Amino acid sequence: MPRKGRGSVSNPDGRFETRRHESIDDGWDIPEEGTPIRTTLTPDKAKSIISRNDSPDIPFDQSINPYRGCEHGCVYCFARPTHSYLGLSPGLDFESRLFYKQNAAELLQRELRKPSYTCSPITLGINTDAYQPSERKLKITRSILEVLRDFNHPVVIVTKSALVERDRDILAPMAEKNLVRVMFSITTLDSTLSRRLEPRTTLPARRLQAMQALHDSGIPVGVLVAPLIPVLTDAHMETILESAHKLGADSAGYVILRLPHEVKDLFHEWLAHHEPLKARHVINIIRDMRGGKDYDSKFGERMRGTGEYAGFIAQRFKLVCKRLGLNQRSYDIDSSLFKSPAQSGDQLGLF
């Protein structure tokens, strides 16, 4: 049974495990409420902090994930399968057994000071949200931003949380130097649906308030309709973009729902419990956009899908962005100001 405040219905074994566990009916026809699951936090002694990629359909080549696992509990999260590398479940373990990189700021300083380092924007919050609930206490993301500020290093933040407001004192001065952009990910404006899809995220209306607060502080903001789920949320796309534009967003993007590895089964299970009358329709359209499969990882297609329905979504997005004036100019942030700050023991310049 679904647990209150959790996105995944179950806790299946990861794909690398040699043994499988199954729940069975004990024969008692008595409904049972799932036992509440507590969140645990474990330090993750990382050896490096900047992840790099050369994917042709991703608009950045450097990212930082301060956390492994995400308490937001979004059932559709494409990062869930990464917990299998830890011997844990992509289901409830992913959203309750979290790891934090306590030495993130120290590692980042070390990497940025390397003579071989070439500056390009770093994206925060791609695999897991850098502003998930534990950040309020741990402040790992804030310590990373402090380092980036000191180095005049450009950063793009992607989040579903209003907690980003806390760091306006860092972000606003960076924005004056064109060093930062914050993208808010919004799946739906329906708070009831949001509570079931992404149970521990900030409510959509509150995210929009945070977007306006950052915009009013001079921090550039944009919106990502992500993921866009056929039947459940695709009808909300225009309203999301219009609402975000009114509150300061000048750029936008969207990503079609992705169901890699174990996410496929977790999402099917979620549909069966929460949207049983729509489940078959949702899956049929997803497969129509994925060449008959639940997911196709092919570059150039995995983010937007293919086929008539995907083309219809793309056309709607293009028309509404044109009407609102979104994505009408370059939004590149500045990498030319990057410089290592002086530290104790540095040799002073001669002049």
One pLDDT digit (tens) per residue for the chain, 351 residues: 788 889 999 988 888 777 766 766 666 666 555 577 899 999 998 888 999 988 877 888 899 999 999 999 999 999 999 999 999 999 999 999 999 999 999 999 999 999 999 999 999 988 899 999 999 999 999 999 999 999 999 999 999 999 999 999 999 999 999 999 999 999 999 999 999 999 999 999 999 999 999 999 999 999 999 999 999 999 999 999 999 999 999 999 999 999 999 999 999 999 999 999 999 999 999 999 999 999 998 988 889 999 999 999 999 999 999 999 999 888 889 999 999 988 765 655 555
Domain assignment present for 335: no
pLDDT tens for 253-305 read 999 999 999 999 999 999 999 999 999 999 999 999 999 999 998 988 889 99
Per-residue tokens: 22: 């199954």
Instruction: Give the structural domain span for 161.
Output: 40-324
Domain assignment present for 201: yes
Domain assignment present for 17: no
One-letter amino acid for residue 96 of the chain: S
Domain assignment present for 97: yes
Predicted TM-score (pTM) of this structure: 0.92
Residue 57 is predicted with a pLDDT of: 78
Cβ neighbours around 129 below 10 Å, total: 32
Domain assignment present for 34: no
In terms of Cα–Cα distance, which of 173, 177, 104, 174 is closest to 142?
A: 104
Q: Report the C-alpha dihedral over residues 77, 59, 248, 328, rounded to 10 degrees.
A: -140
| Distance of alpha carbon 10 from alpha carbon 216, whole angstroms | 42
CATH code: domain of residue 231: 3.20.20.70
Looking at the 3D structure of the chain, how many domains does it have? 1
Residue 300 is predicted with a pLDDT of: 83
Domain assignment present for 58: yes
Domain assignment present for 14: no
| Furthest CA-CA distance within the chain | 84
Domain assignment present for 7: no
| Distance of alpha carbon 206 from alpha carbon 247, whole angstroms | 12
| Distance of alpha carbon 266 from alpha carbon 273, whole angstroms | 11
